[in-house]
Amino acid sequence: MTFNQATDYAFRAVQYLVQADEQVVEARQIAQNEAIPMRFLLRIMPSLIQVGIVKSHRGAGGGYSLARPPRQISFLDVVEAVEGPIYINRCQKDYEYCSKHGAPSCAIHQKLNIIQAKITEELRQLNFGDLEE
Protein backbone atom coordinates (compact mmCIF):
# COMPACT_ATOMS: atom_id res chain seq x y z
CA MET A 1 0.00 0.00 0.00
CA THR A 2 1.37 3.39 -0.98
CA PHE A 3 -0.11 6.79 -0.34
CA ASN A 4 -0.10 8.88 -3.49
CA GLN A 5 2.04 11.99 -3.97
CA ALA A 6 -0.94 14.27 -3.33
CA THR A 7 -1.30 12.78 0.16
CA ASP A 8 2.38 13.41 0.88
CA TYR A 9 1.93 17.01 -0.24
CA ALA A 10 -1.20 17.33 1.91
CA PHE A 11 0.69 16.09 4.99
CA ARG A 12 3.41 18.67 4.34
CA ALA A 13 0.93 21.51 3.73
CA VAL A 14 -0.96 20.77 6.94
CA GLN A 15 2.27 20.53 8.91
CA TYR A 16 3.36 23.89 7.50
CA LEU A 17 0.08 25.43 8.64
CA VAL A 18 0.57 23.89 12.10
CA GLN A 19 3.97 25.58 12.30
CA ALA A 20 2.42 28.88 11.15
CA ASP A 21 0.63 28.94 14.52
CA GLU A 22 -2.81 30.15 13.40
CA GLN A 23 -1.50 32.72 10.93
CA VAL A 24 -2.98 32.99 7.45
CA VAL A 25 -0.40 31.76 4.93
CA GLU A 26 -0.38 32.39 1.17
CA ALA A 27 -0.41 29.33 -1.11
CA ARG A 28 2.83 30.51 -2.70
CA GLN A 29 4.57 30.47 0.68
CA ILE A 30 3.41 26.92 1.44
CA ALA A 31 4.41 25.71 -2.02
CA GLN A 32 7.87 27.26 -1.85
CA ASN A 33 8.71 26.20 1.68
CA GLU A 34 7.42 22.65 1.33
CA ALA A 35 8.63 22.05 -2.26
CA ILE A 36 5.09 21.42 -3.48
CA PRO A 37 4.29 22.35 -7.07
CA MET A 38 1.72 25.16 -6.97
CA ARG A 39 -0.67 23.33 -9.31
CA PHE A 40 -0.72 20.33 -6.94
CA LEU A 41 -1.19 22.48 -3.88
CA LEU A 42 -4.14 24.27 -5.47
CA ARG A 43 -5.73 20.89 -6.25
CA ILE A 44 -5.17 19.51 -2.75
CA MET A 45 -6.37 22.45 -0.66
CA PRO A 46 -10.06 22.25 -1.68
CA SER A 47 -10.16 18.65 -0.42
CA LEU A 48 -8.70 19.73 2.93
CA ILE A 49 -11.12 22.65 3.10
CA GLN A 50 -14.13 20.46 2.30
CA VAL A 51 -13.49 18.16 5.29
CA GLY A 52 -12.78 21.02 7.69
CA ILE A 53 -9.01 20.65 8.10
CA VAL A 54 -8.09 23.95 6.41
CA LYS A 55 -9.84 27.31 6.06
CA SER A 56 -9.52 29.53 3.02
CA HIS A 57 -9.24 33.29 3.46
CA ARG A 58 -10.06 35.46 0.46
CA GLY A 59 -8.93 38.92 -0.48
CA ALA A 60 -5.84 40.93 0.33
CA GLY A 61 -3.80 39.09 2.90
CA GLY A 62 -5.72 35.93 2.08
CA GLY A 63 -4.46 32.40 2.07
CA TYR A 64 -4.94 29.37 4.26
CA SER A 65 -5.00 28.51 7.95
CA LEU A 66 -5.96 25.50 10.01
CA ALA A 67 -9.67 25.09 10.62
CA ARG A 68 -9.16 23.27 13.91
CA PRO A 69 -6.39 22.65 16.44
CA PRO A 70 -3.54 20.33 15.36
CA ARG A 71 -4.51 17.71 17.97
CA GLN A 72 -7.90 17.44 16.28
CA ILE A 73 -6.40 16.65 12.85
CA SER A 74 -5.40 13.04 12.46
CA PHE A 75 -3.24 11.59 9.74
CA LEU A 76 -6.30 9.53 8.79
CA ASP A 77 -8.28 12.76 8.25
CA VAL A 78 -5.69 13.93 5.71
CA VAL A 79 -5.39 10.57 3.94
CA GLU A 80 -9.15 10.23 3.58
CA ALA A 81 -9.55 13.85 2.45
CA VAL A 82 -7.15 13.27 -0.43
CA GLU A 83 -7.54 9.57 -1.27
CA GLY A 84 -10.81 8.51 0.30
CA PRO A 85 -11.18 5.56 2.67
CA ILE A 86 -8.25 3.19 3.00
CA TYR A 87 -8.61 -0.25 1.46
CA ILE A 88 -5.57 -2.50 1.31
CA ASN A 89 -7.31 -4.83 -1.11
CA ARG A 90 -10.14 -4.29 -3.56
CA CYS A 91 -12.39 -6.81 -1.81
CA GLN A 92 -12.22 -4.72 1.38
CA LYS A 93 -14.04 -2.00 -0.52
CA ASP A 94 -16.60 -4.18 -2.26
CA TYR A 95 -17.12 -7.94 -2.12
CA GLU A 96 -17.97 -7.86 -5.81
CA TYR A 97 -14.28 -7.35 -6.57
CA CYS A 98 -13.52 -10.85 -5.24
CA SER A 99 -13.05 -13.09 -8.28
CA LYS A 100 -13.63 -16.11 -6.02
CA HIS A 101 -16.94 -14.63 -4.79
CA GLY A 102 -16.19 -15.55 -1.21
CA ALA A 103 -14.91 -12.39 0.42
CA PRO A 104 -16.97 -12.52 3.66
CA SER A 105 -15.92 -16.09 4.47
CA CYS A 106 -12.46 -15.98 2.89
CA ALA A 107 -9.66 -16.48 5.42
CA ILE A 108 -7.41 -14.07 3.50
CA HIS A 109 -10.12 -11.41 3.43
CA GLN A 110 -10.65 -11.77 7.17
CA LYS A 111 -6.94 -11.38 7.95
CA LEU A 112 -6.64 -8.38 5.62
CA ASN A 113 -9.59 -6.80 7.45
CA ILE A 114 -7.63 -7.08 10.71
CA ILE A 115 -4.54 -5.48 9.14
CA GLN A 116 -6.63 -2.73 7.54
CA ALA A 117 -8.30 -1.97 10.88
CA LYS A 118 -4.88 -1.68 12.58
CA ILE A 119 -3.50 0.64 9.92
CA THR A 120 -6.63 2.80 10.07
CA GLU A 121 -6.50 2.98 13.86
CA GLU A 122 -2.80 3.96 13.89
CA LEU A 123 -3.46 6.75 11.40
CA ARG A 124 -6.48 7.86 13.44
CA GLN A 125 -4.43 8.04 16.65
CA LEU A 126 -1.54 10.00 15.15
CA ASN A 127 -2.38 13.68 15.01
CA PHE A 128 -0.52 16.79 13.96
CA GLY A 129 -0.24 17.96 17.56
CA ASP A 130 1.97 14.91 18.17
CA LEU A 131 4.51 16.36 15.74
CA GLU A 132 4.91 19.52 17.80
CA GLU A 133 6.38 17.65 20.76
What are the residues whose beta carbons fall under 8 Å from the beta carbon of 127, sequence distance 6 or more? Answer: 70, 71, 72, 73, 74, 75
Position 94 scores a pLDDT of: 64
**What interhelical angle do 38-50 and 27-34 show, nearest 10?**
120
**Reduced to 3 states, what is the DSSP secondary structure of residue 102?**
coil
> Is 16 exposed, middle or buried (CB count within 10 Å of its CB: 0-12, 13-18, 19+)?
middle
CATH number, domain at 56?
1.10.10.10
CA-wise closest residue to 74 among 55, 56, 54, 53:
53
Position 7 scores a pLDDT of: 95
Position 95 scores a pLDDT of: 61
DSSP state of 36: -
What range defines the domain where residue 36 resides?
5-132
Letter for the amino acid at 39?
Answer: R
Q: What's the domain count of the chain? A: 1
The predicted model scores a pTM of 0.87
Output the tens digit of pLDDT for each of the chain's 133 residues: 678 999 999 999 999 999 998 899 999 999 999 999 999 999 999 999 999 999 999 888 789 999 999 999 999 999 999 999 888 877 766 666 666 665 567 787 788 888 989 999 999 999 999 886 5
